[in-house]
Amino acid sequence: MEIPVDGQLSVNCELSPDAEYLDDVVVIAYGTQSARTVTAAVSSVKAEALKDAPNVSFDSMLQGQAAGVQVSTPNAGAGSQAKVLIRGVSSISAGTDPLYIVDGVPISTGVVNASYIEANALSDINPADILSIDVLKDAAATALYGSRAASGVIIITTKQGRKGETKVTYDMNIGVTQPTKLYKMMDAETYYTYKNQAVKNAYGTDERVISGGANPYGNKAFNYMTDSAGNIIRTNWNDLVYKNGLVQNHTVAISGGSDKTQYYISANYSNNDGIIIGDSYKRYGIKANVSSQVNSWLKVGLSAQYSRGDTRVIDSSRGGSVFSAAGLPRVAMIMPPILTPYNEDGSYYVMNGGQYIGVGGISISSLSYPNGMAQKESFNAIVTDRVIASGFAQVEVVKNLFLKTQFGADYMVENEETFWSPIYGQGAGNNGYAWRTMDNALSWTWTNTANYNVAFKNNSFDFLLGMEAYYDSYAYDWINASDILNKAYKGFRAGYVTNDAGGSEGAKSMVSYFARVNYDYKSRYMVSANFRRDGLSALGENNKWGNFWGISAAWRISEEPFFAPARNVVDELKLKASYGVVGNSEIGYYNAQTYYGDAVYGGKAALGLANIGDASLAWESSSKYDVGLNASLFNRINVELDWYYTKTNNLVMAVPQGPSTGIGSLVTNTGAMQNTGVEFTIGADVIRTKNFTWNTNFNITTSHNKVLELAEGVTEIYGESDANITMPGYSVGQLYVYPTGGIDPATGRRIFYGSEGEWTTYDPYSRSWYLADGTEFQGNLAQVRAGNTLPTWFGGWTNSFKYKGFDFNFMLQYSGGNWILNAMTATGSDNRWWNNFAEVAEKSWKQPGDKAKYAFPVYGDNVSNGSAYDISDWIEKGDYLRLKSVSFGYTYKTKTKKNLFNSIRAYVQVQNAFVLTAFTGLDPEITSSYTSQAVLSGGYYKNTLPQARTFTLGVQLTF
Amino acid sequence: MKNIVKYLLVALVAVVLNACSKEFIQKDRPYTMTESVIFSDADYIESALLGCYDVFKSSNPSFMSGLAYVVFDVRGDDVVNVSNPVTMQETYEMTVLGTSLENGRIWNYAYSTINTCNIFIENLEKYNCAEVIGEAKVAQYAAEAKFLRAYSLYVLANLYSQPYSINPNAKAVPLRTTALLSSGNNNCPAATISAVYQQILDDCTPGVLANAPGTYNGVTRASAAAAHMLRMRVYMAMSDWDKAITEGNAITGYSLAQDVTDLYGEDTYNNKEMIFALPMSTQDKPNTQMSAAEYFSKDATVSWLDTEAGILSNADYSLAADQRISKLISAPDGSGYVYSLKFVDKAQKLDWIPIFRYAETKLNLAECYANKADGATNAKKNLKDVRSRSIAAADDSIDVDGLTGGNLTTAIYNERRLEFICEGLRGIDIIRRGETFSKHNSLVDVEVAPTSNYYTWPIPDSEKNYNKTLYE
């Protein structure tokens, strides 16, 4: 399936086999429309732009591809999902994920409902099956999806067969991944010297047991450990945790058809071995699309796919637990280089049944910490089996009046198994622990539409009337087992002393009615109006129904007679504007209800207050404005410019309550927020000759978020680690830290500013703060707002060069305007037993006059370098420019049918080749928070994996 | 034919469009109940009361069955904590900050318990439960919920407030006595320690609780004796020895168990000593790394007993003939450490949690009498009752009858340390008396006097952020 690259922003796709060749069309809600007459803000990403990438999921491939679409990859965990935002953060507590529609059917998205690790629901869609992705951004485009449209809509169209040609393609790539960056930590000698010095600074001598009793390796606080031959142990924990991964993707597809019936069938296999030990993702999938014109008035179609996703990790911090002590990225950083994870016989170097690293007395006496490597005896696995299927029948009742009924279902069975070995950490606490869940998630959508189009003279109308029913349910069962009977076994099906089981289920449902009319006069003046009414079960009794709508208009100036003289230069010029109101229904199933759940006390049934609900919970509604311009110059340059403004009212917000109220948070409608910005895209066929073409596409988006109002009596909301604050007048999730002023050159202590601006330094000996005159500081230390965490600009620049059969492509991607709290710096310079960055030995204060980055090391001090309190010294800019991908390929086509194949293309590609940034952490794009509070807790960087760099070799064969 | 099919299809769509959608979008959460159902049924009302106990105990997720129980031994000087910040190392080292993990957790669990109780108490009125279960039961249930509220406050008072004995007007913690179900209630000033203690006294109503029922000999529910015990502790903290003695003497029907080991493990209610204890079952136990066994048992290796400087370093309190040593403390392991055997079930966590037992009544009385001019005889009698249960006079290095003055007081203090080691009292005793936290062993050098900022915990930053009137 070759998609002509024509410099257009939209894609040529063959949705309607009836038509020989269509004008450029964009996919819109419940239909398609000519790109020329579309009045709404829609971006299209063509399959061509997604090719060559080794990604197993399309979400991360959207990065930089379309204006207004912001994609960030939180880390390199195999099978991790990317975060996709369309035109900014649309909500504080309700979901911010766009609605994804695959071939007309909404699918389940987001993090698969798992307990210990997360899996990406979007990775069940094989990117190689995708023909085009259309992103609906403004209200005019999205209003027909009503209450589900506030975060934008992404419509995925999968490949279809074409009549008359039977084509077999084989698409494969195989690659190696590696971490883009790792921290340089202290080696054994530096660690030994530096930590003992810190002990000496604290106690006057380093010949001291810090904790834990006798030490067979010496009488210092930190001693070299030696093996039986007397060699000093030197462990590089990065080498133990990180590895090179292997990625491969294979897709075989057959497509073709007759006049009446077309088909597309494919099968795929993907395997992504991650960059840390025990990390992998596999997918097996099959897919079929069939459509048939049964007779002159009836058309039917069926689209179905089955996939199995298999995500496995051992890293216990995979779910984004920022403080997970045993998370592998953290293990790689903090474990002392003078300790070994293994005994000489290969067994784990552990004591107390695996609870802690070491045997008896160890070379670091104060360490009560698990041996991260023993995690290899544990595992987490999520296997999802998923069917996404839809069928339709369309009847042409009278000419140009189409009635269509479509039923689509998304059914996923997710099996999760977690096993904590009795020789490691928490598993040791339970003497072996297993956790097993099964989740059946079913959603279905039944859509019925009537579509009538009529044209007379220069007027053209298109009417749509529809009704939809939507149902979403889950049934979740769990069993846990603890205290394993036979330590030879690993896994849930071994015998355990106790087994415990339970479950839950839930459902929500929605009924909708909708209508749209598009009108255009001479393809010159266009007007469109949408309306949708939704009733949703999850809302309060009297607020279940909501109305959503959008209107838009466009004027193609280039069609005006007076414009004729300019058409040599400007062959297309369109102005457009839209306004509308859409909603957000990404809220819990039962948030509006107050209810009690079962509990046990003293062997008797108890009822525990499980939720305090707001009985009047209603829609969160977003008013969206858009004004834009499309132009085409010299028939080779396309320009798009859009200004957007979104105001969200009645935010569905989990309003946090002061802890002493005894209520965690209450979900209610309150507050308002706005997002505004400009999107600019320019694409050009810079060179277009027979043998050589250069095609380029540049986009940039600005995005400014501002919270306008929070709940009554709530002037601010804090993020998860209390390192973020959200308050009216500023963008959501501002950093919120203690103000510091570096290291005092005279004393080597960290300078903290009091709430009245007082200059103080922290004394690690007395654990108190002192004023410049040496008296103890009596005032308050208070956190201050310290920077926006949302990028204010982002975009991508793609370039494609072709010379005869050769092609060369590269894509730059950029983002910035945000600030990041690099809390890893605190961890990497902590004055407890944790290993430190190699630079800490040099950059810590030694003598008066030193302009140091880190404080004078005093063993046990967890304040001066920012562990106990997040400090402003560790805030950094998040701007970056990334060479997201660069590829080089060669395509060979044969004209004769004699050859085995019609064309062959081979390429090499590098993903994440490099990143330019002043950020000193592993990657500025990484985020630490996956939780429901992610929006409130942005810009907090701690304990996460780096990104992966991937070198790929790929082949595409067409037979 | 063609037209018939067409019209049938059209009709189908029309039917769907007109289908009644009201029922389709009505969904209630399965396996849950609403308040109006619960508070109109006698069994469900009692279940909701047990829900308050469960929150107090462990559904919250580990308040009194876990962190809030072990915290006072970890703060104390008889147990060594060698773990990491997840398992209260900062508490042991007396370096807890407003951001420390255990600080926020215990605060949140306590207030969540308090609000659950407040909601229950108000619902008894709101839903007119007297019509369902009678006035007497309504009063009794409310008294039980108030007792749980009072104990939660007591935990907070002993962590966050300067002791009453040093400053009765010290700012303690916010008093929350009304049900909170909506936002806008963040502000609440810290009440004085006097006001907090008055609230606890008011909430403990032995008269109403006299008839409290309960399974397991009644020890898992608040009883008159339990209310007296909490009042007694509060009066002792206020140095009001007479009133404390009155409370102690009001506790009748209890006696010391013959064998001190009967008081620990599972099902510890089959004796006359247990006044109030929290039950455990496989369906209802503390969360990971929060149970007493996960702190104190030998397998856990989070804590061991301080034999260098703690009470066990005192020869009179480490006698081999003392059953509390021979039966409740492990033999030294390879590193020479010894562990408590009171909470051993680290894997299953089914050890019950004793909150009040009659031995405490006796040692409380002993301390109260010792503080009175003419109380030595009664003090010695009560002390001797407890000590002689575990060690025969012939084997004892202490002659209780011969103790006088300061020696008697010290002996009572020390007896409390040994008798209740790992039972959540040591840290309370230190702070109640305004003593200095003094821990000097090969692992730590901690000397924290009442004048130190680290003597009490700072109110968590998460509370300060939302509660703007805390220090008004």
Question: How many CB pairs lie under 8 A apart between chains A and B?
Answer: 271
pLDDT at A37: 81
CB distance B390 to B398 below 8 Å: no
B294, A505: Cβ pair inside 8 Å? no
- Report the pLDDT averaged over residues A886-904: 82
Say if residue A8's pLDDT is above 70.
no
pLDDT at A220: 85
A602, B216: Cβ pair inside 8 Å? yes
Provide the residue ranges of all domains of chain B, joining segments of one domain with +: 2-452
Which residue of A482, A661, A663, A778 to mutate against B (max B Cβ within 10 Å)?
A661
> For the CA atoms of B297, B303, B304, B310, what is the dihedral angle to 10 degrees?
-130
- Chain centroid to CA A203: how far? 47
Window 386-405 of A, Cβ < 8 Å to B: 393, 395, 397, 403, 405
CA–CA dist A947, A930 (Å, integer):
16
Backbone angles phi, psi at B181, to 5 degrees: -125, 0
What's A222's DSSP letter? B
- Report the pLDDT averaged over residues A334-353: 85
CA–CA dist B269, B271 (Å, integer):
6
pLDDT at B6: 61
Say if residue A931's pLDDT is above 60.
no
CB distance A866 to A823 below 8 Å: yes
Say if residue A750's pLDDT is above 50.
yes
Which of B44, B54, B183 lies closest to A657 in CB terms? B183
Name the residue in chain A with its Cα closest to that of B5: A395
- A133 close contact with B: CB closer than 8 A: no
Residue with tokens 């000489």: A344
Paired strand residues for A418: A380, A435
User: Could you tell me the fold of the domain covering B2-452?
Assistant: 1.25.40
**Greater pLDDT, A318 or A521:** A521
CB distance A129 to A253 below 8 Å: yes
CB distance A19 to A27 below 8 Å: no
B187-192 long-range CB contacts below 8 Å, 24 or more apart?
Answer: B187/A658, B187/B467, B187/B468, B187/B469, B188/A658, B188/A660, B188/B467, B188/B469, B188/B470, B189/B469, B189/B470, B189/B471, B189/B472, B190/B459, B190/B470, B190/B471, B192/B168
pLDDT at B274: 95
Say if residue A910's pLDDT is above 70.
yes
Which of B44, B118, B181 lies closest to A612 in CB terms? B181
**A875-877/A880-893 β-pairing:** unpaired
Angle at A662 between CA A660 and CA A665, to 5 degrees: 105
Task: Give which of B185, B87, B108 is closest to A659, Cα–Cα.
Answer: B108
pLDDT at A625: 96
pLDDT in tens, B430-450: 999 999 999 998 778 899 999
Chain B residues closer than 8 Å to A297 by CB = 2, 6
pLDDT at B364: 98
pLDDT in tens, A388-401: 999 999 999 999 99
Say what the pTM is: 0.86
DSSP string, A585-598: --S-SSTT--EEEE
Say if residue A12's pLDDT is above 50.
no
Angle at A75 between CA A73 and CA A77, to 5 degrees: 115
CA–CA dist B229, B249 (Å, integer):
10
Say if residue A353's pLDDT is above 70.
no
A599, B180: Cβ pair inside 8 Å? no
The secondary structure element, H or E, covering residue B4 is helix B2-18
**A105-106/A99-102 β-pairing:** antiparallel
Confidence of residue A82 (pLDDT cuts 50, 70, 90): confident
pLDDT in tens, B313-341: 999 999 999 999 999 999 987 778 899 99
CA–CA dist B212, B200 (Å, integer):
19
- Report the pLDDT averaged over residues A226-233: 88
pLDDT at A879: 96
CA–CA dist A139, A553 (Å, integer):
12
Say if residue A409's pLDDT is above 80.
yes
pLDDT in tens, A493-503: 999 998 889 88
pLDDT at A959: 84
pLDDT at A7: 32
- Report the pLDDT averaged over residues A141-165: 88
B465, A716: Cβ pair inside 8 Å? yes
Say if residue A192's pLDDT is above 80.
yes
Residue A351, C-beta contacts closer than 8 angstroms, at least 6 positions apart: A357, A358, A359, A360, A362, B301
Measured in residues, chain B has a length of 472
Residue B77, C-beta contacts closer than 8 angstroms, at least 6 positions apart: B306, B309, B310, B426, B430, B437, B438, B439
Chain B residues closer than 8 Å to A210 by CB = 443
- With a cut of 50, which residues of chain B have pLDDT below it? none
Dihedral sign from CA coordinates of A915, A280, A278, A483: positive
CA–CA dist A783, A393 (Å, integer):
61
A713, B13: Cβ pair inside 8 Å? no
Q: How far is B190 from chain A (nearest CA, A)?
A: 10
Residue B212, C-beta contacts closer than 8 angstroms, at least 6 positions apart: B140, B143, B144, B218, B221, B222, B223, B224
Which of A325, A508, A655 lies closest to B84 in CB terms? A325
Chain A residues closer than 8 Å to B108 by CB = 659, 664
CA–CA dist B276, B223 (Å, integer):
8
Confidence of residue A362 (pLDDT cuts 50, 70, 90): low
Confidence of residue A4 (pLDDT cuts 50, 70, 90): very low
Residue A181: half-sphere exposure toward Cβ, Cα within 13 Å: 17
Name the residue in chain A with its Cα closest to that of B448: A766
The secondary structure element, H or E, covering residue B308 is none
Confidence of residue A2 (pLDDT cuts 50, 70, 90): very low
Mean pLDDT, all residues of chain A: 88
**Greater pLDDT, A61 or B79:** B79
pLDDT at A5: 34
Helices and strands in chain A, H and E counts: 9, 49
Residue A640: half-sphere exposure toward Cβ, Cα within 13 Å: 28
**What is the ipTM for the molecules in this complex?**
0.91
Confidence of residue A631 (pLDDT cuts 50, 70, 90): very high
Beta strands (DSSP E) in B268-417 are: 274-278, 303-305, 353-357
Q: How far is A944 from chain B (nearest CA, A)?
A: 19
Peptide bond into B213 cis (omega under 30): no
Dihedral sign from CA coordinates of B118, B119, B125, B128: negative
pLDDT in tens, A479-494: 999 899 999 999 999 9
- A450 close contact with B: CB closer than 8 A: yes
B444, A600: Cβ pair inside 8 Å? no
Say if residue A13's pLDDT is above 60.
no
For A780, counting Cβ atoms within 10 Å of its Cβ (0-12 exposed, 13-18 middle, 19+ buried), the class is: exposed
- Chain centroid to CA B60: how far? 13
Angle at A344 between CA A343 and CA A349, to 5 degrees: 0
Determine if residue A825 is left, alpha or beta; phi over 0 gives left, psi from -120 to 50 gives alpha, anything else beta. Answer: alpha
